[in-house]
């Protein structure tokens, strides 16, 4: 174990972004303060958040803030009692309403500059447009065919960053990727995918089965707006 710690510190010393950037001798690891036998100080990782002042780094022009972050879950009870007809995600409807209330959004169809949703299948994206109350019930298909969700020309561009369908589904990291991509859009750093003057975006993720799942929705926008 001491050799493992020595190796890790030697490798970490070569990385400018490492938190504990220092080499150690094997004797230091062997004789370090005991934390919980047989683990010593150098056997345990450091715990910290990796935050930097992105404005000073020249990466951020506009500060981006989280306007809402909400969760909703279902244990499948509604399906068991025939209260669910199978044509929608109850959790998405509940979660979006909670998020809109928190972010003080009255009309999501008019408010969002872009959205990133959990399109594990094409039909999932279709259903989600109505579950987010951006398309009216039964009218998502018309909005999609009319190009309402298309890149640049649409009213609310959806999956500007290719979505799960083409980017890939990295499971636990999918939601973070979506938030990061909206951050890039708001700061004008999305390169050939850049929209004109985006101000507010939404990310949507689900995990589980249609009748029993958890939904997460984030609303991201410019700070102070």
- The encoded tokens of residue 177 equal 């990727």
96-128 pLDDT per residue, tens: 999 999 999 999 999 999 999 988 888 888 899
pTM for this structure?
0.73
CATH number at 64-222: 3.40.47.10
Mean pLDDT along residues 67-93: 82
Q: How many CB atoms lie within 10 A of CB 100?
A: 22
Query: Is there a contact between 78 and 90 (Cβ–Cβ < 8 Å)?
Result: yes
Mean pLDDT along residues 175-197: 89
Kindly indicate the confidence band of residue 143, based on its pLDDT and cuts at 50, 70 and 90: very high
To the nearest 10 degrees (0 to 180), the angle between helices 90-103 and 122-131 is 50
Residue extent(s) of CATH 3.40.47.10 domains in the chain: 64-222
- The encoded tokens of residue 142 equal 């018309």
Please give the pLDDT value at position 170.
67
Kindly indicate the confidence band of residue 167, based on its pLDDT and cuts at 50, 70 and 90: low
Mean pLDDT along residues 47-68: 67
Query: Residue 89, Cα to own-chain centre: how many angstroms?
Result: 19
């Amino acid at each position: 174990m001491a050799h493992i710690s020595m190796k890790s510190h030697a490798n970490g010393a070569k990385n400018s972004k490492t938190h504990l950037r220092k080499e150690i001798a094997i004797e230091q690891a062997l004789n370090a303060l005991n934390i919980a036998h047989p683990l010593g100080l150098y056997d345990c990782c450091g715990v910290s958040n990796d935050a930097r002042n992105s404005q000073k780094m020249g990466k951020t022009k506009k500060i981006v803030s989280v306007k809402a972050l909400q969760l909703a879950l279902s244990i499948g009870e509604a399906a068991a009692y025939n209260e669910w007809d199978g044509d929608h995600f109850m959790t998405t409807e509940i979660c979006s309403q909670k998020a809109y209330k928190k972010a003080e959004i009255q009309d999501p169809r008019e408010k969002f500059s872009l959205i990133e949703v959990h399109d594990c299948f094409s039909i999932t994206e279709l259903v989600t447009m109505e579950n987010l109350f951006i398309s009216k019930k039964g009218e998502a298909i018309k909005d999609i065919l009319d190009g309402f969700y298309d890149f640049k020309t649409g009213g609310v561009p959806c999956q500007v960053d290719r979505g799960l369908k083409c980017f890939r589904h990295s499971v636990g990291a999918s939601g973070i990727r979506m938030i990061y991509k909206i951050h890039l859009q708001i700061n004008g750093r999305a390169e050939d995918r850049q929209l004109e003057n985006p101000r507010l975006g939404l990310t949507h993720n689900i995990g589980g089965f249609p009748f029993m799942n958890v939904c997460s929705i984030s609303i991201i926008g410019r700070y102070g707006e």
